[in-house]
């Protein structure tokens, strides 16, 4: 029998998947600057970094974010995590028993129950899962955690909206111990202070980055009780039923699934109808009212400017009381750079102890877009170390060049050391093309004399240095 000739592989050119993109240099310098600023600013507020995994059980997000939300019902990348195993053990529809590995049958039966996992669409659920898993309620409270990383949502891609996007987020989690003597008024103020501190932290971060046109909007959506949000939602629903005919299909559907989300509508023709609906602020219980008043007071005390927006309800189910969003300039319709709020009770919903929570997530892609619009901030981030191209010629000069590169890099200077000897003219041309500010000229003569020539490429000026003086000069830059 002759073996069939292997099929010739078709050449195929690949492209990044729709809604994903490559972040490339030099643009990534601004990303690094933003992330370094986040580490620094969040550190001053006592936050520590957490790095949860990128995929989690689908059910974690369904429970936390809400099964009826757009994020969970339409936008998650979900797969059966045992599929890889299944594919290697299932052939032509038959399960292959593995005699050497009897446990594989057990694993297979688990697999047939399907273990659904999803790429994380957000990270609050993951942080709460981690808080429970690592018994963080036993650590000093509150736990203040932040994260930076990619999230995944299958949304319609457009400017500022991607299917893989990056968030910089923070969460404050605090275990609530049973205490019959607790003064509830004091407790509400304490929570409001935490909310204000968290908001102040994001605003400080944006301020450090010189983000332009920053606007903070806040609201309170009360808590799930008949004399508070539940009562309001029932009223809202009955009012919405009366004007149903004037609403679009999405809003009509939301009257049934999640009436609060109707307030989120951006449709022009729905705006006059929505303007006449009852406002939640008039239906908050006394505790939620005083908490909201305290949040505003605490923001004012910190000099944080805000605007109230009674329609700010957010698209995730876990929120209660404080909700907030921050917009910035230059982003078009996707102008929310940050969203957050309070979510007491979420940890408990995920099987943990009674815990309060408040946090936010910044859309890093949008933040970067807005910073790029305002050139100043981008320039500040572009403050790179001095860049020296070593133009060497001759065997002795080469050895000196290798040492010089090592010393200069150790001093924080960016160095390009060409692997081949080049005529000086060629070397200078290449140095300019790469964007170097200086060319360090090393020929056998320079090495013999122990003095090195540094040429400033912008104006052609030349200065002679001994090695230690050269290092001093570059370090001062
Ligand atoms: P979120 O409002 O769904 O909240 O997302 C926060 C931010 O992520 C948005 O304001 C936006 O800047 C950015 N973002 C969302 N989707 C996309 C996308 N497809 N492309 C680009 N950027 C996007 C949350 O995720 C909550 N976990 C925030 C939170 C933390 N609440 C409490 N703690």
In the prediction, which pLDDT does 81 show?
81
CA distance 245 to 373: 42
Q: Is 189 helix (H, G, I), strand (E, B) or coil?
A: helix
- For β-strands 452-456 and 414-416, DSSP reports them as unpaired
181-190, 344-353, 370-379: least confident range:
370-379
The rounded Å distance from CA 204 to ligand 1 centre is 19
Within 10 Å of residue 308's Cβ, how many Cβ atoms? 12
Single out the residue of 263, 372, 360, 359 nearest to residue 328, CA to CA. Answer: 372
Backbone angles phi, psi at 431, to 5 degrees: -60, -45
CA distance 28 to 32: 6
How do residues 428-468 score in pLDDT, each as one tens digit? 999 999 999 999 999 988 888 888 899 999 999 999 999 88
**Which ligand 1 atom is the nearest neighbour of the CA of 340?**
31
Contact 167 CB / ligand 1 (< 6 Å): yes
| Substitution site in 363, 367, 370 for ligand 1 pocket (most atoms within 8 Å of beta carbon) | 363
Contact 169 CB / ligand 1 (< 6 Å): yes
Percent of the chain with pLDDT over 70: 90
DSSP assignment of 119-155 equals: E-S-SHHHHHHHHHHTTGGGSSSSEEEEEEEEEE--P
- pLDDT at residue 101 greater than cutoff 70: no
Q: Are 294 and 188 in contact (CB under 8 A)?
A: yes
Q: Count how many Cα atoms sit within 13 Å of the Cα of residue 263 in the half-sphere of its side chain.
A: 22
CA distance 173 to 145: 8
Contact 365 CB / ligand 1 (< 6 Å): yes
Q: Are 313 and 250 in contact (CB under 8 A)?
A: no
Q: In the 8-state DSSP scheme, what is residue 175?
A: E
Q: Could you tell me which residue, 426 or 113, shows the higher pLDDT?
A: 426
Backbone angles phi, psi at 357, to 5 degrees: -150, 145
Residue with tokens 């000099």: 303
Within 10 Å of residue 98's Cβ, how many Cβ atoms? 14
- pLDDT at residue 381 greater than cutoff 80: no
Tokens linked to 431: 């140095």
Specify the length of the chain in residues.
Answer: 477
pTM for the model? 0.88
- Mean pLDDT over 242-268 rounds to 92
The rounded Å distance from CA 225 to ligand 1 centre is 27
The rounded Å distance from CA 212 to ligand 1 centre is 19
Quote the mean pLDDT of the chain.
Answer: 90
In the prediction, which pLDDT does 47 show?
98
How do residues 33-81 score in pLDDT, each as one tens digit? 999 999 999 999 999 999 999 999 999 999 999 988 899 999 999 998 8
- pLDDT at residue 295 greater than cutoff 70: yes
How do residues 409-418 score in pLDDT, each as one tens digit? 998 899 999 9
Contact 360 CB / ligand 1 (< 6 Å): yes
The rounded Å distance from CA 107 to ligand 1 centre is 36
- Confidence at 110, pLDDT banded by 50, 70, 90: very low
Q: Could you tell me which residue, 104 or 369, shows the higher pLDDT?
A: 369
| Substitution site in 56, 60, 122 for ligand 1 pocket (most atoms within 8 Å of beta carbon) | 122
- Mean pLDDT over 223-238 rounds to 95
Percent of the chain with pLDDT over 90: 76
- Confidence at 477, pLDDT banded by 50, 70, 90: confident
Contact 340 CB / ligand 1 (< 6 Å): yes
- pLDDT at residue 359 greater than cutoff 90: yes
Q: Are 146 and 168 in contact (CB under 8 A)?
A: yes
């Amino acid at each position: 029998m002759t073996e069939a000739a292997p099929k010739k592989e078709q050449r195929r050119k690949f492209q990044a998947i729709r809604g994903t993109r490559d972040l490339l240099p030099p643009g990534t310098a601004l990303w690094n600057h933003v992330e370094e600023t986040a580490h620094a600013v969040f550190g001053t507020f006592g936050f520590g970094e957490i790095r949860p995994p990128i995929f989690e059980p689908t059910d974690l997000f369904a429970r936390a974010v809400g099964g009826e939300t757009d994020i969970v019902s339409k936008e998650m990348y979900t797969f059966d995590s045992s599929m890889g195993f299944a594919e290697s053990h299932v052939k032509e529809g038959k399960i292959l028993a593995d005699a050497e590995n009897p446990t594989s049958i057990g694993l297979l039966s688990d697999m047939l129950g399907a273990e659904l996992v999803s790429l994380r669409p957000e990270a609050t659920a993951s942080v709460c899962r981690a808080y429970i898993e690592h018994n963080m309620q036993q650590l000093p409270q509150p736990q203040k955690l932040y994260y930076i990383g990619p999230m995944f949502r299958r949304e319609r891609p457009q400017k500022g909206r991607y299917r893989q996007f990056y968030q910089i987020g923070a969460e404050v989690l605090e275990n609530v111990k049973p205490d019959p003597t607790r003064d509830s008024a004091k407790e509400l103020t304490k929570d409001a202070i935490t909310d204000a501190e968290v908001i102040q932290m994001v605003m400080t971060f944006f301020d450090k980055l010189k983000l332009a046109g920053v606007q903070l909007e806040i609201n309170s959506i009360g808590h799930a009780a008949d004399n508070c949000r539940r009562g309001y939602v029932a009223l809202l629903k009955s009012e919405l039923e009366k004007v149903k005919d004037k609403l679009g299909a999405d809003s009509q559907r939301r009257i049934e699934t999640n009436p609060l989300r109707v307030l989120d509508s951006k449709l022009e023709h729905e705006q006059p109808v929505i303007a006449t609906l009852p406002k939640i602020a008039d239906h908050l219980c006394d505790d939620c009212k005083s908490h909201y008043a305290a949040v505003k007071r605490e923001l004012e005390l910190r000099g944080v400017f805000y605007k109230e927006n009674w329609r700010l309800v957010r698209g995730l189910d876990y929120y209660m009381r404080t909700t907030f969003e921050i917009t910035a300039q230059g982003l078009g319709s996707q102008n929310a750079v940050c969203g957050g709020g309070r979510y007491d009770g979420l940890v408990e919903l995920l099987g943990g102890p009674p815990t309060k929570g408040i946090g936010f997530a910044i859309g890093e892609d949008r933040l970067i877009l807005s910073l790029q619009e305002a050139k100043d901030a981008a320039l500040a981030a572009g403050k790179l170390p001095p860049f020296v191209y070593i133009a060497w010629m001759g065997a002795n000069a080469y050895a000196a060049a290798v040492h010089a590169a090592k010393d200069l890099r150790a001093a924080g200077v960016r160095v390009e050391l060409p692997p081949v000897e080049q005529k000086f003219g060629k070397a200078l041309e290449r140095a300019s093309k790469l964007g170097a500010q200086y060319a360090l000229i090393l020929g056998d003569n320079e090495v013999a004399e122990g003095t090195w020539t540094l040429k400033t490429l912008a104006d052609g000026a030349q200065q002679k240095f001994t090695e230690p003086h050269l290092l001093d000069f570059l370090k001062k830059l």
